[in-house]
Amino acid sequence: MDFLKIDSNILLTIFYVWANIIATTVILIIFNKNMKNKQTRSRCLSMVMFHLIIYFIGDSIWAFAYFKVFGENEVVLRMSRMIYYGASNLIAFAWLMYVELVLNPNLNFNRVKKIFLFPTLLSLIGTVFICSFLNPAEKSIYGYMTAFLLILVPFSYIIGSGVHVLISSKKTNEGKEKRKLLQFAIWPIVIIVFSVLQVFIAEIPIYCFGAILVTVYLFIQNQDSFIITDTLTGAYNREMLNRILNDINDEPNYYILMLDIDRFKNINDTYGHLEGDKALRHFAKLLKETLRPYDASIIRYGGDEFLVIIKLFNQSLLEEIISDIHLEVEKSKDDLGFIYTTSIGYSKIDNNKSYEENIAVADELLYKNKEIAHQNEAK
């Protein structure tokens, strides 16, 4: 076959569809891998991928109609728009849910889902109407208005999620947490930039290339996040503890705090294990919020024990932080319906000692403070 003699529109269609097939294949592979993780957050990311695949299918159908491979076919053109604009709404909704769960693992997911699902459903209904009776590609004020209505909800969700990520990253001084959050601002930026470029260069599947690159990147980051994160509390796990301790190496002014929930077994025995899990999540959230202004990493060390690695230049500030944690814990009844207390020990990291020895010093002080607290209760 002499490709030079093939009509240019057919060549452009072949290239466009080929790009979407490659993108669909790659997304399907990582979609299948991601589906093995049953956590709600991962399921939301899977829904982003699933609706991206639907978008690519609609985009391929659009290419056949746009390049007039089979002549003028207004019905196919409208149907393809309906598919990829509808998929865009669902992609944005799933992405927003994913980001909200990243920012707040203790989110009341069902409640938030209901709030944001309603505008999505209205937008889907509007998409069906607009794509059936109007022409968003028309170069007129009416065309621009209808195109704006089609992208209003999905772009609002994508931009809103990006803004929320940036605000959350500014509230924390912990370097690793800030970098982790900023990674989730990449997806909306790439999607919006490539979507705009796609409008001006319709003949090349720019959005397709951008979406696949950033989704693969996010999948990798999401997998890494689960490796280093405790699934119950959202705090770092012991794998991440090793990384943190290796990173600080010989740097001065780092402290280790060891904390646990007093008589945690009694909470499980009295209120049940589900309430015990809720207390652990509450404690981790409390630590994150209290330590947000500081360069601090929170690790679930085991059971009800947590470690905090924090950089401070003044030990008196450490005493204030410990006091603040105790004050916040006293408010636990407002959130849980019962009160729990915590004991805290700490040590300044001595680079001449092993990390195990530094942790042992904090652990010893924790149990001394726990004994003092129990003696005071007995009086």
3-state secondary structure the chain: CCHHHCCHHHHHHHHHHHHHHHHHHHHHHHHHHHCCCCCHHHHHHHHHHHHHHHHHHHHHHHHHHHCCCCCCCHHHHHHHHHHHHHHHHHHHHHHHHHHHHHHCCCCCHHHHHHHHHHHHHHHHHHHHHHHHHCCCCCCCHHHHHHHHHHHHHHHHHHHHHHHHHHHHHHCCCCHHHHHHHHHCCHHHHHHHHHHHHHHHCCCCCHHHHHHHHHHHHHHHHHHHHHHHECCCCCCECHHHHHHHHHHHCCCCCEEEEEEEECCHHHHHHHHCHHHHHHHHHHHHHHHHHHHCCCCEEEEEEECCEEEEEEECCCHHHHHHHHHHHHHHHCCHHHHHCCCCCEEEEEEECCCCCCHHHHHHHHHHHHHHHHHHHHHHHHC
The residue ranges of the chain whose pLDDT is under 70 are 1-6, 174, 377-379
pLDDT of residue 115: 93
Rounded distance between C-alpha atoms, residue 299 and residue 321, angstroms: 17
Q: What is the pLDDT of residue 23?
A: 92
pLDDT at 29: 93
pLDDT in tens, 111-138: 999 999 999 999 999 999 999 998 887 8
pLDDT digits (tens, 9 = 90+) for 166-204: 888 888 776 777 777 788 888 888 888 888 888 778 888
Gap between the Cα atoms of 156 and 164, Å rounded: 12
pLDDT of residue 109: 86
Topology of the domain covering 238-378: Alpha-Beta Plaits (3.30.70)
Q: How far apart are CA 343 and CA 154, in angstroms?
A: 47
CATH topology (fold) of 3-228: Rhopdopsin 7-helix transmembrane proteins (1.20.1070)
Smallest CA-to-CA distance from 287 within 253, 247, 249, 258 is with 258
Same fold, 3-228 and 238-378: no
Instruction: Provide the pLDDT for residue 5.
Output: 55
Sign of CA dihedral 92, 94, 97, 101: negative
Answering whether pTM is above 0.85, one says no
Q: What is the pLDDT of residue 3?
A: 47
Q: What pLDDT was estimated at residue 51? A: 94
Q: Is 252 left (phi over 0), alpha (psi -120 to 50) or beta?
A: beta
Distances (CA, A) of 321 to 119, 298, 313: 42, 14, 13
Query: Domain boundaries in the chain?
Result: 3-228, 238-378
